[in-house]
Structure 1
């Protein structure tokens, strides 16, 4: 599924097609329990997360009069072009921040790929077929379907679904990978996944009142025919999600809050790069059909609040002849690096976890320092910066120049999010602008970088570096999926970090324009029980 970039369940589907067995249909679930406790007069909140939606494409399409639905929602609502994503800009981390209202130092999902020092194993939610096959189908599928929501996502940090349930409000998720709630749900595992991953026929999970996850959890089975077969990516695509949403609208079964994940645009941009309008035009047509399901676009905004957001931007990866892929093993000398699928041994010195345009590098040997490893990388002109933590301090070294900055939480500098910092050495490394007289700190090329970077450095146990690539480049550990001439993300620059946010159906505004702050905004909308025609 996403990312980020490439989503988890589509890769499971690819493996399933290679195995070639038949799938089993999930059991029908009761849709009646999602009816709003506030009745039909309560204004619903529909959040559509569009994977890799970028404001540049929206603006271009509106200028060409090609996006009537988005143009309508923007004209009758709020349109922001600078919503700050999470870091790394990979979907599982971003969704975790959105739904918990916290960065990864608290929600504990540090990326699409990472190393668990507690369990001494690589965690991989599904990046590409080569990595999945080398890592093993069983660990990838169980991490994605069971452990991600069951144990990796911090159990002590409530999701919006859990908070709403405690307040007697109903919620739902259509194709969202982060779905933990308080309602007992089941994932129905097709036979071919059971065989490949050694999984039972059904898995008990906790989710929102409505949990729809393609063919794995299809509460519409028996009441609405949705495209969720083998040739339809098991339902993890826009058509399934949009048709499911339209059914809920038409049948008057919308919960108070509904999260809908739309992945199709991301897959197109990874292949072709972050230009072109075909995918955004298709999205607009789908949105238009949703608005019309209410009777008219105007009626839609009377009945519901629509929030549409991208989760990350995307950078064009240079073509193959311009050496766009940074092969990390080749830069790390003769260090003994754990290979995909292998177990940690006494000889293992380094472990690599690549998330497209960022990577974690884990150090297991006490006779070397993180700074030693950083020195092996800093001279490559394709590397943006290398960062690590030492006690309360965070360090960042700029690629090519070797310039260094260090910072820590607390101090006499306050940023635009009311966060305080102490910053020393060369501010150019993270493009900071400080005013020592006014005690202010501003960001430019790296939005909210001090909080996002320090959170990533404290997101899980272990001694590790965070490495980011300059625009046009991406990392590989030898088996990572590559996007030469296409698009990639994961890094922290504004091209990959700033995403559009459209809010229609309410005049209430978010306090801060960060994905991590939207949970509080959504709860405020929902608990005020916004009424029709307000």
Structure 2
């Protein structure tokens, strides 16, 4: 799903090649400081986040006997098919929820694209090359490399890396986009980037004890050659990450907790749709080589807890001839809509922050209420629902039908996550099953919808709505947004994009709840044993 700023990294790498800027020795001392002080008494935990891994593909591949490594881990561990992701289902938000144990209302990373009312700027971490160029390389790089971990991610809530440091445990991240921790690191940029932009030559960041972020922070330079060339997305690729993990295993340098991000499956599914097996088979081969770095798969589970999760699912997008792209800017033909790269002025009325199959829509004019905007958007038959908040209530209108629902936290209805709610009007808008006599509430098409939607609507200041597309469709703002006609997309709250697989091998300990937001507590408990 990196629809994200992995698009930016190849641009940086071209400039690195042009300047001949390569380091012969590692600038960091990560490899010297990550060995655990416990003398190997407890198991290490390796968490592999596989972008857009879906359980349907795993099941199909195992039936065809084409995924031996995944089959081994499933047969020797726990396999869940309904881990609830964060919302919107975009990687920066999902990783933030995993690593902080909180939804967007707490960790404050609303999506890949969002509008900051404080700075009056559209924030983009880089969703595609055209959007990056129109929005501006300098602001996108600044937000992605400096502000995302430095200030956008809520400083008041600790990440798992910060919690582990306080416990005296070692941690590491390989190519993770969210990495804030307690140890000092530097991201190194070539002159042709920091010279003509406002970016410094070296960006000082805080991360886990071990931080590898492609060519920007590569502790392996001068130690081990890894695939980080122009065609390898500056090291943000599966081979780089897997070979890095194998090196740490074989040299007995695994930290107590290691997070590893693997992006390549997402890239393939966006182009070809979510039904293909080629990318999953390639991951399985890489996984097999990682297990064999321990000498054997059996020894791997003796020495480590290995956890594999998808971050989001994916919905097939209809082909171009079926009009799958909803151009939101065209729906506001009578309003001044902010264009990519433009500054917000007094004349700006509408701002669109597109996150594939969901979007934030900001209304800056007092005479245009959020309900007015919602009434306009719901008329497009391709819209799933539109939601906004009014004081303590959250309102949602179903596309096409106009059915309405409102709800708020607290009340006599309790869901399966022990959260209480008050729900009024038509529960069908979010496919809720309410049993008033039992004071219970259940979800189907929109898992944990009330909490996740509430989290997104309280994730940042401003007057805005959330709009989602029906399955088969995606949202856009003119020609700048990346689209995936005939491929796959995500971002919305529906279960096809929200339910992901979770494989846990090497421990019998089970998570209390199957939500991404609850895994941090589970991981900390594992590491305290």
Q: TM-score, normalised by structure 2?
A: 0.98
Aligned twin of 1:521: 522
Aligned twin of 2:338: 338
Residue aligned with 1:279, SS: helix
C-alpha offsets along residues 15-60 of structure 1, whole Å, 9 cap, x if unaligned? Answer: 6538972352354322110001211232100000000000000000
Aligned twin of 1:254: 254
Contact residue 16 and residue 190 of structure 2 kept, 8 A? no
- Unaligned residue ranges in structure 2 (runs of 5+): none
- Aligned residues: CA RMSD: 1.2
Aligned twin of 1:276: 276
Aligned twin of 1:298: 298
**In structure 2, what is the Cα distance between the partners aligned to 1:194 and 1:230?**
19
**In structure 1, what is the Cα distance between the partners aligned to 2:364 and 2:351?**
8
Residue aligned with 1:437, SS: helix
Deviation at 1:195, TM superposition (A): 4.1
Residue aligned with 2:280, SS: helix
C-alpha offsets along residues 304-347 of structure 1, whole Å, 9 cap, x if unaligned? Answer: 00000000000000000000000101112311111110111111
Aligned twin of 2:493: 492
Aligned twin of 1:387: 387
Contact residue 25 and residue 190 of structure 1 kept, 8 A? no
Contact residue 44 and residue 305 of structure 2 kept, 8 A? yes
More divergent stretch after superposition (162-171 vs 33-42): 33-42
Indicate whether 1:401 and 2:415 are aligned: no
Indicate whether 1:13 and 2:10 are aligned: yes
C-alpha offsets along residues 414-445 of structure 1, whole Å, 9 cap, x if unaligned? Answer: 00000000000000000000100000000000
Residue aligned with 2:89, SS: coil
**In structure 2, what is the Cα distance between the partners aligned to 1:190 and 1:213?**
15
C-alpha offsets along residues 219-250 of structure 1, whole Å, 9 cap, x if unaligned? Answer: 11111111112232100000000000000000
**In structure 2, what is the Cα distance between the partners aligned to 1:197 and 1:6?**
23
Aligned twin of 1:72: 72
Deviation at 1:257, TM superposition (A): 0.2
How do residues 349-360 of structure 1 correspond to structure 2 at under 5 angstroms? 349-360=349-360
Aligned twin of 1:210: 210
**In structure 1, what is the Cα distance between the partners aligned to 2:16 and 2:225?**
25
Deviation at 1:276, TM superposition (A): 1.2
**In structure 2, what is the Cα distance between the partners aligned to 1:24 and 1:127?**
27
**In structure 2, what is the Cα distance between the partners aligned to 1:255 and 1:82?**
29
Deviation at 1:97, TM superposition (A): 0.1
Deviation at 1:367, TM superposition (A): 1.3
Aligned twin of 2:118: 118
Contact residue 124 and residue 140 of structure 2 kept, 8 A? yes
How do residues 122-201 of structure 1 correspond to structure 2 at under 5 angstroms? 122-195=122-195, 197-201=197-201
Change (3 A) 1:206 1:23: farther
Contact residue 53 and residue 499 of structure 1 kept, 8 A? yes
C-alpha offsets along residues 437-481 of structure 1, whole Å, 9 cap, x if unaligned? Answer: 000000000000000000000000000000000000000001100
C-alpha offsets along residues 3-23 of structure 1, whole Å, 9 cap, x if unaligned? Answer: 4x4131333314653897235
Query: Stretches of 4+ moved more than 6 A in 1?
Result: none
**In structure 1, what is the Cα distance between the partners aligned to 2:20 and 2:448?**
45
Contact residue 25 and residue 188 of structure 1 kept, 8 A? no
C-alpha offsets along residues 352-403 of structure 1, whole Å, 9 cap, x if unaligned? Answer: 0000000000011111100001111111110000000000000000000000
Aligned twin of 1:531: none
Aligned twin of 1:29: 28
Residue aligned with 1:24, SS: coil
Contact residue 36 and residue 42 of structure 1 kept, 8 A? no
Residue aligned with 2:69, SS: helix
More divergent stretch after superposition (193-202 vs 125-134): 193-202
Aligned twin of 1:414: 414
C-alpha offsets along residues 168-197 of structure 1, whole Å, 9 cap, x if unaligned? Answer: 000000000100000011111133433464
**In structure 2, what is the Cα distance between the partners aligned to 1:9 and 1:23?**
21
Change (3 A) 1:81 1:36: same
Contact residue 271 and residue 483 of structure 1 kept, 8 A? yes
C-alpha offsets along residues 264-315 of structure 1, whole Å, 9 cap, x if unaligned? Answer: 0000000000011100000000000000000100000000000000000000
Change (3 A) 1:92 1:470: same
Deviation at 1:527, TM superposition (A): 1.1
**In structure 2, what is the Cα distance between the partners aligned to 1:484 and 1:195?**
38
How many correspondences in the alignment? 525
Contact residue 8 and residue 141 of structure 2 kept, 8 A? no
**In structure 2, what is the Cα distance between the partners aligned to 1:196 and 1:432?**
53
Residue aligned with 2:437, SS: coil
Q: TM-score, normalised by structure 1?
A: 0.97
Aligned twin of 1:367: 367
Contact residue 413 and residue 420 of structure 2 kept, 8 A? yes
Residue aligned with 1:361, SS: strand
Aligned twin of 1:482: 483
Aligned twin of 1:56: 56
